[in-house]
Chains A and B, each alone.
Chain A
Amino acid sequence: DAKTTQPPSMDCAEGRAANLPCNHSTISGNEYVYWYRQIHSQGPQYIIHGLKNNETNEMASLIITEDRKSSTLILPHATLRDTAVYYCIVRPLYGGSQGNLIFGKGTKLSVKP
Chain B
Amino acid sequence: EAQVTQNPRYLITVTGKKLTVTCSQNMNHEYMSWYRQDPGLGLRQIYYSMNVEVTDKGDVPEGYKVSRKEKRNFPLILESPSPNQTSLYFCASSLTLAGGDTQYFGPGTRLTVL
Same complex for A and B? Answer yes
- Number of A interface residues in the complex (CB < 8 A): 25
**Cross-chain contact B42 with A105 (CB below 8 angstroms):** yes
Min C-beta distance of B86 to chain A, whole Å: 14
Assuming A45-B105, A97-B56, is B100 touching A32 (CB within 8 A)?
yes
- Number of B interface residues in the complex (CB < 8 A): 26
- Per-residue CB proximity of B56-88 to A under 8 Å, as 1/0? 101000000000000000000000000000001
**Cross-chain contact A103 with B42 (CB below 8 angstroms):** yes
Closest to A90 in B: B99
**Cross-chain contact B105 with A95 (CB below 8 angstroms):** no
The secondary-structure label for the interface of chain B is strand
Closest to B30 in A: A95
The secondary-structure label for the interface of chain A is loop
Q: Which residues of B contact A31 (CB under 8 A)?
A: 99
Does B12 touch A at the CB level, under 8 Å? no
Min C-beta distance of B48 to chain A, whole Å: 6
- Per-residue CB proximity of B22-38 to A under 8 Å, as 1/0? 00000000000101000
**Cross-chain contact B48 with A100 (CB below 8 angstroms):** yes
Question: Chain B interface (Cβ within 8 Å of chain A)?
Answer: 4, 33, 35, 42-45, 48, 56, 58, 88, 90, 92, 96-100, 102-108, 110
Query: What 6 A-B pairs have minimum CB-CB distances, sorted nearest first?
Result: A43-B105, A99-B97, A103-B43, A95-B98, A95-B97, A93-B99
In the complex, besides A42-B107, A43-B105, 19 extra interface pairs with C-beta distance below 8 angstroms are: A32-B100, A42-B108, A43-B90, A43-B92, A43-B107, A44-B92, A45-B105, A46-B102, A46-B104, A92-B99, A97-B56, A99-B97, A99-B98, A100-B33, A100-B58, A101-B43, A103-B44, A104-B42, A106-B42
Question: Chain A interface (Cβ within 8 Å of chain B)?
Answer: 30-32, 41-46, 49, 91-97, 99-106
